[in-house]
Each structure stands twice: as C-alpha cells, then as structure tokens.
Structure 1
Amino acid sequence: MTRVAVTGGAGFLGWHVRVLMRALGLPDPVLVSRADLADPDALAARLDGADRVLHLAGVNRGDPAEVADGNARLAAALARGLARCAAPPPTVVYANSVQAGNGTPYGDGKALAATTLADAGVDLVDVRLPNLYGEHGRPFYNSVVATFCRLLADGSRPEVHEDRELDLVHVTDAAAHLLGAPADGGWDARMPALRLGVRELAGRLAGYADVYRRGELPPLPDRHAVRLFNTYRSHCFPHHYPLPLPRHADPRGELTEVVKSHGGQGQTFCSSSHPGVVRGEHFHLAKVERFAVVRGSAEIALRRVGHDEVVRFAVSGDRPVVVDMPTMWVHKITNVGADELLTLFWTNEVFDPARPDTYRETVEAERVATAVAAR
C-alpha cells in the first residue's frame, strides 16, 4: 500500500488515520475535500492511481433529513468520481457503522451509502464501526466520551439522564483496522471493545479528573484505562499546564513531590543536558510521559501531529512544575540556560525496545508559535 486517498481526513477518525500513517512510516495520504466530492472530474483526478480509498466523510449530527441524505449523497459523489478514473483504486474501505440499517435517519443513510459503493464496481470493504473514542474528539458531536471529558476539563460534571451499555473502541484501533496495519504496534486492528454503562463511564472519567486536578496519576491497570485517561488529558491541553508540584520545606532544605501514582506500573529516569542540548523530537500514540525540570532552565515545545501551531512552556528548577506530554503531539525539551539541565521523566509503562511507542518527528518548521508561560 503506497498511495492512499482519504475522504473526511480532517475529521476525528481521519486525523487519527493520518497520525497512524505517520507512525507506520507511510506517505501522507491524498486528502479528498468536500469541494473535491462536489466536482466529479476534480475528484477523479485526486483518486486516479490510488491503491486504496478510505471513505470516512459523513454526517453524524443535525437535521434528520440532512443526516440521512448527507451520508448517501457523499457516497454517490464518491461513486461518480470513481467511474471517471482512468485507473480507479481497486479497493474502497468504507467507515460504516454498527447502526447501519437500524431504522434511524443516520443508520438508514449509512446503509444506503454502503449499497451505493457496493454498486460502484470496486472491491468494497464495509467496516461496521462501533462507538469510537479517543484524543481530540469533538464534544457534543463525535462521542459521549468527548462530551464528558470536555465538561470535566471545564470544571463541570456530566449528567446522565439515560443509562445504557456502550461498546467503546479506541479510534487508533479503528484506524489500524481500516488501514490493515500489521499487529506489531501499540494498536490492535481487531478493535477490542470496552463495554460499560454511560453512568459508569461518567464516574470513571470524573475519578480521573478529580485525581488529576491534584497533579496525581489515576490507576491505569489496562490499555483502555490508559486510552480513556489520554482522551481526558487531550481536553485539558494546553490550558491546564504546567501543573504545580507540592513542595515541603524545613531547615534542611526542600522536598518536591513529582509523581504520585494511584496504581499501575511505571518507570522513572532522569537526564542531564548541556546548554543548547535538545531531547525528544518524537510523539507517542499511547504512552503517558511526564517532564519535570529540577535544576536549570528549559523550554518544552509541543505540536499536534498534522498541525502547525507550536505550544511552548518556559520551565525552571527554581519553581518546579510538571508538563505531561499529550499523546499524538510531537515534543522536545531544550536547555536554554547557561548551566546544566537536570530533568526527571516518568512514564506509565516500563520501556520495551520491541514496542517503544516512539515515532520520530520534529517540532519545528511551523508557521505559528504560541507561548504559554509557566504558572
């Protein structure tokens, strides 16, 4: 698979597909916009020669008639473009839903879209996706997880009016399934689901928020716990950082609490860096990583994968704070002082050379920079 075209590449699932493609070392996909879909000739030019099309564009919320018609209309537009390709992609992977055909406007629209693509003369892979959750979901649109996380990050509490069971799949696992990614990374293309009720979900996320507001780490006993916590953290960044650290002083000196974890494994290490030295220049898909400068002065810079804006934190050992690296953000730390920099790092997992969950990319070469001062 060398050339992939993606509709809906700017959306929630589309962004996670693009991030995973970066992690896999694949070329950036050809992004098909709504304007391309409205012009069959322009669309054919975008699709021509692609090895695979991922059809992710859709309508999830809104007027019922628009939701039903919108999904079918997008599929019909894609089919028209495919018919005009000189070398049409042999495979179209459709991000369908487990709700397809359930009698709702959304479900019926998704089902009709699948039928339209099946009649387009290509090999259609019809993937019935369950409820997806993950980093940077759009509140009140993509999932109840995103909605609860945003409410908690803003200091509110979720209200559950109707409790029901959910099957939740992390969006990176769904992206791996759609791409046919090999099963040797931190993802699982089998899309293992977390089954829990809406009320239990709200309680679990609220527990994360309560612990994390104190700068402490909640229990992270399994991969879904890690990914739910990372989803919550994505709604906190960057405005909740740096996190202040508890400091205790007596005549002997000072003691600073850097990591207080409520369960799960972890690894702590420290590094020294000479003036001007840069560490990092990579991103993680799942790993929770904490930075704390205990001596010297540094700048921590981060950029969301696929975006341009750079967030910068000025940190110093004179006032120790922590910055937790959000998943799928490229990050680095630079010694900007005249003396040696001493940094303490903590991760939620013991380093595994076979699965390092570390993907090289540079922070810089962006057009916009935003400075965030340390509190």
Structure 2
Amino acid sequence: MSKIALTGANGFLGWHVRAATHAEGDEFAGIPVGDAFDADRAAALIDGSARAIHLAGVNRGPDENVATGNVRFAEQFASALRAAAEPPVVVVFANSTQVNNGSVYGDAKSRAAAIIAAAAEDVGAEFCDVRLPNLFGEHGQPFYNAVTATFCHLLARGEEPEVQQDRELTLLHAQDAADLLRGTISLEEGRARERRECVSSLLGRLSEIAALYTEGEIPDVSTAFGRDLFNTYRSYAFSRQAPIRLQPHADARGAFFEIVRTHGGNAQSSFSTTVPGVTRGDHYHRRKVERFTVLSGVGRISLRRLFTDEVVSFEISGEEPGAVDIPTLWAHNITNVGSEMLYTSFWTDDIFDPQNPDTIAEVV
C-alpha cells in the first residue's frame, strides 16, 4: 500500500483521483489549502507519501482571484513539501495545456508550476508537470468544470443545450487523468487516450445518447470514448431515470419482456438465484456499464456514491419487471427482501477479464 497526498481532494478531479486511489488499495491523505491551510498539519499529511499531487486551483472568477489564488495554493503546498520530515518520492502538478496561451489563468498555472518544481528540487523529489486538456467525467459541476458537464446536465433534464462557440476540444476522461497523475499510465498513454472533438459534434453525440437512453436503450459503447461519454451522461440521468420499467408481453403461454437493447460494443449476460435475506454485490466499477434486472421475486437494489453516506435504494418485483443501470463509481448490491427465490439478470458492456475485473470491493 502506498500513501498518496492530495490537494483539491473535494473538487471534480480530486474526487476521481481519490476513487482511483481507493481502487488500487492505496492510502489517501487530503491536504486543505487556502483559508483552511494549516502548515504543520499539511506537512504531517505529506510526510512519508509516495506521491504528493497538487490539484487545487482557481479556474474561474475575476482575473485577480485567478492569478493570486493559484499562486497562493502552490506556495502553501510548496511550504508543506519543504517542512515534511520524510518528503514524497514524486511530486506531481496538475497543470493545464493552457499554460502557455498568454491568459491570466495560463500565466498563473505557469508560476505555480515553477514554485512547486523548486520545492520538489529542494527536497530531492522527482517533479512531474502533467499538462491536462479539457476533462470530462462523472459528476462534474455544470456551468463550471467543463462544457460536457453542462450539456449532460441540461440533456438529462429534457432541455436543449446551445453551442455558444464552436471550436475543437481535446478531451480526456477524468479517470484517465487520475491514472496519469497517479503514475499508473505513462504520459504517452495518457496522450493516446485523448480525443479531439468539436463542441457541436460533442453535443450531437450526447444528444444521441440522451435520446436512446430515454427509451432505456444502451448507445454504442464499442469505443472507450463512447463508453466514457455514456457513463458521464448516466451520472446526470441517475436517479431520475431509475428504475427502468420493462414492458411485459403476456398471453396464455406466459410472459416475455426485453431486458436490454444495445447499439454497439461487446456484452456479457449472466443470471443468478438468491435465497431470501441474502445480499450480492458490495462493490463498484470504474468504467463498466452494468444493468441489474429483477426477473422473479423481490429485490432491493442499493447504491452509494463513493465517499458519501447517502444510500439510494429501489425495490423491484418480478411481477412488474424493472432494471437499474449501475452508475460507475457507486458501490452497489442487491438483496432478496422477499419470501421466495430471487432471480436476477446481469448485463455488462464488456466480457469479464479476471486479470482486469474492474470490480472493487466496497460495502454499500
């Protein structure tokens, strides 16, 4: 187990880095900066860490706040690095590809990088300046983090977003950015995972995803980018679009209903029986798309977003067949709360790989 120290832990990217750290079984230490900064406590949190990552920054606001905020946070982080009894082996700065564009934000990020690089050199740590493009992913803040978050937020509410300025974006999913910052993938692999997309094209993709998913259908998830966009959209559609009610077709022979309709990609289906009172699951996925469908009996599907306490539950009976699509980075389980055997179907967008199961234990 390695210790990862992190500023900006409560932000969008910070949440994703924490999730990736948890998935790898590493220890996490969040370092408050700004008005909440405590020099002694910050040094203690960094002490003995394998990697210290500086995420905290000011992305938007008055120019003065952007300029001074980014430098202030970097100076606080740098002072904690120098004060740590056992400095980290690696120091990482979550920089931006806008660093050299001449903007106030770009200049502030450049100054912050220089401050942190000097501190890393002073303590003998390796310094990694990771320049990130436009990030997207689950639970980004609309109208703040990225246009993808804004589009998903509006589409999930049945609204029609508009393109204010059409330009090409370089996009990277937040879990890929987390892997990059944690050093589990190389800079070259991180660049290979980026995707160039015009704003108008991005809106077109997300609009198609929303239209299909409103009908309970799974869009084309045959590419990593398509899957990641779908998972991002699903984080905004949940839980208003759950459970998905399935339409049974019954006659004298019995009943028939469609479990899932997909528009591209691999898939695997499985089936389980669960005796009364027993719970299955208690894990989460970083990237896997998964659908639970109750076929017979009564099941309670419970879910909890990582690092939160609120549990969302749905009770579904086979008499009124329904499905719940499990959001990525949410712990989940299913419990037989009835008196008869529970029959459940499980569908995923990938074929299970025991070497890379994407199934991390976590109790709901």
What is the TM-score with the length of structure 1 in the denominator? 0.91
For residues 198 and 290 of structure 2, what CA distance do their matches in structure 1 show? 29
**Corresponding residue number in structure 2 for 1:124:** 127
| Among 136, 140, 147, the residue aligned to 1:137 | 140
> CA contact under 8 A between 1:173 and 1:190: conserved in structure 2?
no
Report whether the alignment pairs 1:63 with 2:77: no
**Corresponding residue number in structure 1 for 2:298:** 297
**Corresponding residue number in structure 2 for 1:8:** 8
1:79-99 deviation line (CA, Å, top 9, x unaligned): 222233333334310000000
1:255–1:146 Cα change, 3 Å:
same
> CA contact under 8 A between 2:34 and 2:72: conserved in structure 1?
no
Matched AA of 1:164? R
> CA contact under 8 A between 1:36 and 1:43: conserved in structure 2?
no
Deviation at 1:262, TM superposition (A): 1.7
Structure 1 counterpart SS, 2:237: coil
1:153–1:250 Cα change, 3 Å:
same
Report whether the alignment pairs 1:31 with 2:30: yes
Deviation at 1:250, TM superposition (A): 3.3
Structure 1 counterpart SS, 2:175: helix
Aligned residues: 358
For residues 35 and 198 of structure 1, what CA distance do their matches in structure 2 show? 33
**Corresponding residue number in structure 2 for 1:103:** 102
Q: 1:200-215 maps to which residues of 2 (within 5 A)?
A: 200-215=201-216
Structure 2 counterpart SS, 1:235: helix
**Corresponding residue number in structure 1 for 2:227:** 226
For residues 26 and 43 of structure 2, what CA distance do their matches in structure 1 show? 22
Structure 2 counterpart SS, 1:333: strand
1:54–1:191 Cα change, 3 Å:
farther
For residues 205 and 177 of structure 2, what CA distance do their matches in structure 1 show? 23
For residues 323 and 315 of structure 1, what CA distance do their matches in structure 2 show? 9
Q: 1:79-98 maps to which residues of 2 (within 5 A)?
A: 79-98=78-97
1:238-288 deviation line (CA, Å, top 9, x unaligned): 222111112223343332121111222211221111111211111111111
Structure 2 counterpart SS, 1:106: helix
> CA contact under 8 A between 2:4 and 2:26: conserved in structure 1?
no
What is the TM-score with the length of structure 2 in the denominator? 0.94
Deviation at 1:101, TM superposition (A): 2.6
> CA contact under 8 A between 1:17 and 1:172: conserved in structure 2?
yes
> CA contact under 8 A between 2:172 and 2:193: conserved in structure 1?
yes
Matched AA of 1:61? R
Deviation at 1:182, TM superposition (A): 5.9
For residues 126 and 355 of structure 1, what CA distance do their matches in structure 2 show? 29
Q: Which moved more, 1:41-50 or 1:17-26?
A: 41-50
For residues 310 and 6 of structure 1, what CA distance do their matches in structure 2 show? 26
Q: Which moved more, 1:6-15 or 1:73-82?
A: 73-82
Structure 1, unaligned runs of 5 or more: 364-375
| Among 176, 180, 200, the residue aligned to 2:179 | 176
> CA contact under 8 A between 2:163 and 2:200: conserved in structure 1?
yes
Matched AA of 1:32? I
| Among 163, 167, 173, the residue aligned to 1:164 | 167
Report whether the alignment pairs 1:45 with 2:44: yes
1:38–1:355 Cα change, 3 Å:
closer
Deviation at 1:35, TM superposition (A): 5.6
For residues 245 and 313 of structure 2, what CA distance do their matches in structure 1 show? 17
**Corresponding residue number in structure 1 for 2:321:** 320
Matched AA of 2:20? L
For residues 34 and 199 of structure 2, what CA distance do their matches in structure 1 show? 37
Structure 1 counterpart SS, 2:215: coil
Deviation at 1:303, TM superposition (A): 0.9
Q: Which moved more, 1:60-69 or 1:164-173?
A: 60-69
> CA contact under 8 A between 1:133 and 1:171: conserved in structure 2?
yes
> CA contact under 8 A between 1:304 and 1:330: conserved in structure 2?
yes
For residues 327 and 161 of structure 2, what CA distance do their matches in structure 1 show? 23
For residues 49 and 252 of structure 2, what CA distance do their matches in structure 1 show? 69
Matched AA of 1:158? P
Matched AA of 1:7? T
1:59-85 deviation line (CA, Å, top 9, x unaligned): 111112211221111101112222333
Q: Taking every aligned residue pair, what percent have the same amino acid on both sides?
A: 50
**Corresponding residue number in structure 2 for 1:241:** 242
Q: Which moved more, 1:138-147 or 1:258-267?
A: 258-267
More helix per residue = 2
1:149–1:253 Cα change, 3 Å:
same
For residues 352 and 49 of structure 1, what CA distance do their matches in structure 2 show? 34
> CA contact under 8 A between 2:4 and 2:21: conserved in structure 1?
no
Q: Aligned-pair RMSD on alpha carbons?
A: 1.7
Deviation at 1:190, TM superposition (A): 5.1
> CA contact under 8 A between 1:170 and 1:191: conserved in structure 2?
no
